[in-house]
Amino acid sequence: MSSLQSWAALAVLVPLAAALLCVVLPPLRRAGKPAAALCILASLVATAASIYLLTQHEAGAVTRTEVPWIVLGGKALASIGVNVDGVSVVMLLVVCVVALCVQVFSLAYMHDETPSSYGRYFTLHALFLFSMNTLVVAPNLLQLFAGWELVGLTSYLLIGFWFHKPSAARASVKAFWMTKLADMGFVFALLALFVATRGFDWNARLSTETATLVTALLFLAVVGKSAQFPLHVWLPDAMEGPTPVSALLHAATMVAAGVFLIVRADPLFAQAPATCEVMLWVGSITALFAACLALVQSDIKKVLAYSTCSQLGYMVAALGAGSAFAGFFHLGTHAFFKALLFLGAGSVIHAVHSNELADMGGLRRKMPVTTLTFGIGALSLAGVPGLAGFFSKDFVLAQLEGKAGWIPWTMLMATSFLTAFYMGRVLIKAFGGAESAKAHHAHESGGAMLLPLVVLAVPALAAGFLGGVLAEWSGAEYHVHLGLTPVVASCLAIAGLLGAVMVFGRGRAAPFAGVLESLDRASAVDRTWSGLYRHVLLGVSAVAGFVDRYFVDGLINAVGYTTIESGARVRRLQTGRIHDYAMAVVVGALLIALWGVLR
C-alpha cells in the first residue's frame, strides 16, 4: 500500500473517525463547539491529504488497492479500497476545499443553534465528507454505489436538519424517495454488470447492448441524483435545509456525484453511443427548462437551485457529446463559483433574515465584501470572458458544436443567455437599487463568514486558466480555441447582463413574466410526482391492506368459523334420549356386520 493510497485512505477515514467519535460520545456532540472543532479538524486533514495527493500524483498514473469485502467460496465477490488517478484526485480536492469553506462558514452561520443541534450539524457534515470521499476514491462501482447511497442519507438528514419544520420534514423525505427511486437504476446496472462480468469494474468490455443497458440504468440514477429533467423536483424543495448545506451538497458536491459517476464510468459510456445521445438531449432540455424557471423565482436560494439544475444539464450534455473532460472541467469550476454564490446568498440571508429577493435591495453599501464576492461568482456563472465560467462553459459549447446536432447547441446558447439574464436580475434586485426596509439595518457579516467567500472567489476567478493542467492529468486534450462559439457565447453573456440591467434597473418585471410564472406555479412535473405517490402508491397499498385483512385473513377466519360452527350444529345429534343411544349401538353393529358380510 504505497503512500499515495494511504493518504487517500486518510482523507476518507479521518472524517469517519470524527463522525463516529461524535456519535459514540454523546457528551462531546452535545457540547456543540468541541464537536464542530473536531469535524473541521478532520476536514482540514482531508484537505491537506488531497493537496499532498495533488502534488505527488504524476499525470496518467492509476494506482488502485482493494481489500476483499465479501468472500464467497474463496473468491472475492466484492471488495472495497482506494483508487487514485487524475480524476479522483482533482475531485477529492474540489470536495475537500468546498467542504472546508462551508464548514468554516457554518461556524458563524449556525451559531444561534442549541449546542446539541450544533454538534449534530457538524457530525452530519463529517459523515457527509466521509461518504463523498468514499464515493470519489471508489475503486469499483459497488463502493461508488455505497458512497452514493450514504451521500443520499446525509442529504436526507441535513435537509431535514430543522426537523421541527414540517416543510423541512417533507422536503427531506421527498429528496430521499426521489433519489432512492432513481438509485434503483444503479442497483439494476450493478446486477447486469455482475451477471455479465462477475465483477463491478468500470473498465469491463461489454457487448454493445449490455453496455447500453448498463449505461442507460446508470444514467437513470444520474438523472435522480443530479436533478435532471423529470426527477429534478426535489432540488428546489431541498432548499429547506440550512444554506451552507445547500451550498455544499445541493450545489457543489453531492449533485455533481452523478456527473462524476459518468466521468468515472467513461469506458462503459464510450461503448454505448445510444445512451450518450439520450444524455445530450436530456441535458440540453434540463438546462433550458431550469434556466427558464430560475428567471421567475422570488426566493434567492430557489434561483440558485434552478441555476444548479441548468448547469448540471450543461455538464450532462457535454458528457452526452462524448467529451468526459469538458463535463468534468465545468463540474470543477461550477463547484467553486456555485458554492461561492450560495455562501454569498447565505451571508445576505443571515443579514436580512429572509430569503425573498423583494426584502433585499441596495445591499452594496451595507455589505461591500459580500457584494463583491457574490458579483464575481455571478459574473463567472454568467460566462463573462476571463472568468472561470467562461472557459469551462465555452469548452463545453465547443465540444457540442463539433459532435452534436445544432438543436442542443442552440438550446445551450439560449441557456447561457438566460443564465446571464437571471443572474443579472439577482444582482440588481439584491444589491442594486434603493435600500429596502430590511436592508436598512443589515450589516456586513463577520470575518468567519467572509473568509470562505474570499477563499472561494479566487478559484472562481482563476480556475479557468488551470484547464490545461487538468486536461493533462486526466489524459484528455484541451486547448482554448477562439472559434465562432466562444465569441457568440460571450456576446450572449454580456447581452444578457445588459438586458437584466435595462429591464430590472428601472424596476420593470421581466418580459412575458406572466407566462413563466404560470409555468412555475403550474409546474406539472412536481404535481405529477406527488399525484403518483399519493394516488398510485398509497392507493395500491390501501387496496393491498384491505385485501390482506378482509380477504386472505378473512378466508382463514371463515375456515375457523365453519369448523366451530359445524361442531355446534352437529352437537344437536347428541339428543340426550336413551333410545337414540341404544339405536346408535344397534344400528352401528348392524352396519358393521352388513358391510363385513357384503365385502
Q: In terms of CB distance, is 242 or 433 closer to another protein? A: 242
Q: Which of residues 408-467 bind another protein (CB under 8 A)?
A: none
Stretch that binds another protein, among 326-334, 363-371, 473-481, 558-566 (CB under 8 A): 558-566
**Is the CB of residue 257 less than 8 Å from the CB of residue 148?**
yes
550 binds another protein (CB under 8 A): yes
DSSP string, 487-555: HHHHHHHHHHHHHHHHHHHTTPPPTTHHHHHHHHHT-HHHHHHHHIIIIIIHHHHHHHHHHIIIIIHHH
Q: What are phi and psi of 66, to 5 degrees?
A: -130, 140
21 binds another protein (CB under 8 A): no
Q: In terms of CB distance, is 54 or 146 closer to another protein? A: 146
Pick from 73, 88, 372, 441: which binds another protein (CB under 8 A)? Answer: 73
- Shortest Å, Cβ 390 to another protein: 39
- Shortest Å, Cβ 529 to another protein: 13
Pick from 55, 58, 72, 434: which binds another protein (CB under 8 A)? Answer: 72
Q: What residues contact 547, with CB distance under 8 A and at least 6 apart?
A: none
Pick from 86, 139, 160, 424: which binds another protein (CB under 8 A)? Answer: 160
Stretch that binds another protein, among 165-173, 280-288, 371-379, 386-394 (CB under 8 A): 165-173
Q: What are phi and psi of 76, to 5 degrees?
A: -80, 110
- Shortest Å, Cβ 23 to another protein: 8
Q: Which of residues 187-216 bind another protein (CB under 8 A)?
A: 187-188, 191-192, 194-195
Pick from 61, 62, 458, 540: which binds another protein (CB under 8 A)? Answer: 540
Q: In terms of CB distance, is 518 or 566 closer to another protein? A: 566
Q: Which of residues 30-69 bind another protein (CB under 8 A)?
A: 68-69
- Shortest Å, Cβ 163 to another protein: 4
Pick from 25, 48, 153, 501: which binds another protein (CB under 8 A)? Answer: 153
Number of residues that bind another protein (CB under 8 A): 89
Cα–Cα distance between 526 and 506 in angstroms, integer? 34
Q: In terms of CB distance, is 183 or 520 closer to another protein? A: 183
Nearest to 486 by CA among 396, 426, 381, 423: 396
Nearest to 56 by CA among 10, 102, 18: 10
- Shortest Å, Cβ 59 to another protein: 32
Beta bridge pairs of residue 79: 68
H helices present in 385-446, as ranges: 388-403, 406-431, 437-440
- Shortest Å, Cβ 534 to another protein: 11
DSSP 83: E
**Is the CB of residue 95 less than 8 Å from the CB of residue 53?**
no
Stretch that binds another protein, among 51-59, 222-230, 350-358, 554-562 (CB under 8 A): 554-562
Q: What is the 3-state secondary structure (H, E, C) of 220-260?
A: HHHHHHCCCCCCCCHHHHHHHCCHHHHHHHHHHCCCHHHHH
- Shortest Å, Cβ 259 to another protein: 21
- Shortest Å, Cβ 223 to another protein: 15
Pick from 164, 353, 443, 521: which binds another protein (CB under 8 A)? Answer: 164
557 binds another protein (CB under 8 A): yes
- Shortest Å, Cβ 488 to another protein: 44
Q: In terms of CB distance, is 525 or 544 closer to another protein? A: 544
Cα–Cα distance between 199 and 196 in angstroms, integer? 8
Alpha-carbon distances of 90 from 12, 235, 482, rounded to whole Å: 15, 25, 26
Q: What is the 3-state secondary structure (H, E, C) of 422-433?
A: HHHHHHHHHHCC
Q: Which of residues 561-590 bind another protein (CB under 8 A)?
A: 561, 563-568, 570-572, 574-590
Cα–Cα distance between 578 and 541 in angstroms, integer? 59
The separation between the first and the last C-alpha atoms of the chain, rounded to the nearest angstrom, is 88
Pick from 166, 434, 437, 512: which binds another protein (CB under 8 A)? Answer: 166
DSSP 474: T
Which helix H or strand E contains 67, and what residues bound it? strand 63-72
592 binds another protein (CB under 8 A): yes
Stretch that binds another protein, among 168-176, 237-245, 268-276, 446-454 (CB under 8 A): 168-176
Q: Which of residues 330-359 bind another protein (CB under 8 A)?
A: none
412, amino acid identity: L
71 binds another protein (CB under 8 A): yes
Pick from 17, 54, 173, 480: which binds another protein (CB under 8 A)? Answer: 173
**Is the CB of residue 310 less than 8 Å from the CB of residue 347?**
no
Cα–Cα distance between 371 and 117 in angstroms, integer? 30
Site string for another protein, 83-122 (x = CB under 8 A): ---------------------------------x------
- Shortest Å, Cβ 560 to another protein: 7
536 binds another protein (CB under 8 A): no
593 binds another protein (CB under 8 A): yes
Phi-psi region at 73: left, alpha or beta (left = phi > 0; alpha = psi -120 to 50) = left
176 binds another protein (CB under 8 A): yes
Q: What are phi and psi of 64, to 5 degrees?
A: -135, 130
Beta bridge pairs of residue 68: 79
Pick from 25, 28, 54, 146: which binds another protein (CB under 8 A)? Answer: 146
Nearest to 378 by CA among 315, 325, 429, 412: 429
